[in-house]
Amino acid sequence: MTANADASEPLWSWDFRKWFAGRTISTLGTEASAVAIPVLIFQQTGSPALTGLVSAFIVLPYLVFGLIAGGVADRMNRRWLMVASDLVGAMALVSIPIAHLAGLHSTAHILVVTFVVWTAFVWFDAASFGALIAVVGKSKLAAANSALWSSATVVGIVVPAFAGIVIALWGPEVILVADALSAVASALLIMRIRTDLRPAAVVDGSSEKLWRSIREGLRFIWASTTLRLATLGMAALTFAGGLAMGLLVVFFARALDAPEGALGVFFAAAAVGALLASLTLTRLRRRFGPGRLMILAFLGFVPLLVLFAFVPAWIASLVIWTAWNYLRTLATINNITIRQEETPPELQGRVNMTGRMIALSGTPAGALVGGVLVEFVPIQVVFAMAAVPVLAVSLVFLRSPLWERTASGDIRR
């Protein structure tokens, strides 16, 4: 193994190429399974409620295991934690087609597998934050995150349509086998990374009780002005995003003068906005600095969401929707990168998993609030109301020292 990356090494080193290939291959499988598993459940049950339950089983592992996984990831060899997570996920996935061939398949089995697969991913995710920094170094985090996000976005655009064709021709079980193989490929590529991925606690033999380890990560977020603000911002952003994305279909039916089939164009436009954000993040961070970029993205987010709510012409709405998703993704990747930059290597798992848990909790909360409000309030007003928490956070940002936050480090008060 080699030592951790330093600033003199190029981004596309041997190790980062292996990392990039592993994550891209794994994302291919995950995106395909995200189509296949709901189809499989609906084919077996015909129940929209059980089909929708898949989404809950994807988010629930983060809420249940996030803090623990973050603490463990900072206390054991990250390489083997990621490899084990990939292999557990692969074995769980392949159990579905095996059960199908044996005539033993059931809805409960599929839901359990979904929970196990995403639980494995939670542990992988917890280890990956510190591992990525070890591979590329902090100075290249923004470029690395941009490359990874760009790849994931392109995969998210292309794979669902391809998966739909495969499912129609050969059935959803074929997709799950392919996803299991992609997880195995990811594990093999991670094993070939030469950088030492062990956290300091493993290298020097130090240890502490797990609950103290988790508490230290929470304390670190609270003590950092930048991380407190970034966490607050992501909670508001994901709340608004969950509300808007959750009501998009209803918005089409009630408020938008759009032709039949245009809904798919809007989903594609959201992916295009996300891709553009990933491609421009590094340049914008260099120009404005991460703190100013965060504030500008949040401030731009608010009027775009309000405009989208009250502009009935669908072409204009499409342009606004694309720009809104551009800023939403830009703010998300920038905040993730800031969190990684501000956090010392020994705390990467704990701090980043806490931030991820808070972000994920905002999405279902926004969707739930939007679904309740739309029964009593015009949907245009509900969409506009989604911008309120983001506006409030933006005002807090403007009164903070965040504007002066540069790539050189945290600002504390």
CA distances from 390 to 44, 118, 325, 381 (A): 41, 29, 14, 15
At 73, is the secondary structure helix, strand, or coil? Answer: helix
pLDDT in tens, 366-402: 877 888 888 888 888 988 898 999 999 999 998 888 8
pLDDT in tens, 314-351: 889 889 999 999 999 999 999 989 988 888 887 888 88
pLDDT in tens, 171-216: 889 999 999 999 999 999 999 999 999 886 665 555 556 677 777 7
* pTM for the whole structure: 0.77
Query: Is the dihedral angle over the CA atoms 22, 23, 24, 29 positive or is it negative?
Result: positive
Residue 8 — very low, low, confident or very high, per pLDDT cuts 50/70/90?
A: low
Does the pLDDT of residue 410 top 50, yes or no? no
Q: What is the pLDDT of residue 91?
A: 96
Does the pLDDT of residue 73 top 90, yes or no? no
Q: What are residue 257's DSSP bridge partners?
A: 313
* Structure letter (DSSP) for residue 406: -
pLDDT in tens, 275-311: 999 999 999 999 999 989 999 999 999 999 999 889 8
CA 71 from chain center: how many Å? 19
| Integer Cα distance of 384 and 407 in angstroms | 33
Percentage of residues in the chain having pLDDT higher than 90: 30
DSSP result, 174-211: HHHHHHHHHHHHHHHHHHT--B----HHHHS-----HH
Q: What is the CA radius of gyration of the chain?
A: 21
pLDDT in tens, 233-261: 988 998 998 888 777 777 777 777 777 66
48 burial via Cβ count (<10 Å: 0-12, 13-18, 19+): exposed
Nearest to 397 by CA among 302, 316, 304: 302
Which range has the worst mean pLDDT, 4-8, 117-121, 135-139, 259-263?
4-8
Residue 49 — very low, low, confident or very high, per pLDDT cuts 50/70/90?
A: low
Does the pLDDT of residue 408 top 70, yes or no? no
